[in-house]
Amino acid sequence: MLFDQETILFLKVAIEKDGFLDLPAHGNSMFPLIKRGDVCRFVPCSPGSLMKGDIILFHNDHGQLIAHRFIEVEANNDVRHYLFKGDTNLGYDQPVTADQLIGRLTFIKKNQQEISTDDSTPQLWGKLLLALPILSGALRKYLIWKSHYTYLWSTLWRKLNSL
């Protein structure tokens, strides 16, 4: 989903004013930690406080909101660029600048359960993904297989029901 600059500014003001921002997840790029429909809470963060592995909400040049794992910061011509990557993505996102950062993930609400990003399981999962990038490829293959399997099963089910 794409947002115009006014909406992005509104979200930035809201997170600063309220101290948090709750947003539902829409994609699979952070699977299995974050699944479609999970509600993610973000809090304000400063660029200097980012730690490798933090999940950060930012917007890209096209107005898309993205929550991906912080990898590193690079300096190009005295401008800092922040690199992020989704857990199931094979490559990095386009670098972003500090003014594109919105907040840091603090917890995920899955149904009635809240999972803090400070808990040991999400911390360990993040460290594993950073240490073993091959996991991203395995997760990507699983999601592709799952989508094909789900499609085939639903097609078969519809055909059986129409008999």
For the chain, the maximum distance between any two Cα atoms, rounded to a whole number of angstroms, is 67
Give me the numbers of helices (H) and strands (E) for the chain, helices first please. 3, 7
58 versus 76: which is more confidently predicted? 58
Ordered DSSP codes for 80-127: EEEEEE-TT-SSPPPPB-GGGEEEEEEEEEETTEEEETTSHHHHHHHH
Tell me what the pLDDT averaged over the chain comes to.
Answer: 93
110 with 35: CB under 8 angstroms?
yes
Question: Residue 29 pLDDT more than 90?
Answer: yes
Distance of CA 16 to the CA centre of its chain: 20
Instruction: Please tell me the distance from the alpha carbon of residue 9 to that of residue 15, in angstroms, as a whole number.
Output: 10
- Give the residue-averaged pLDDT of 129-158: 87
- For 118, the token pair is 């400070």
- For 122, the token pair is 């999400």
Instruction: Please tell me the distance from the alpha carbon of residue 31 to that of residue 68, in angstroms, as a whole number.
Output: 11
Q: Domains in the chain and their CATH numbers?
A: 5-162 (2.10.109.10)
Question: Residue 158 pLDDT more than 90?
Answer: no
Q: What is the pLDDT of residue 160?
A: 76
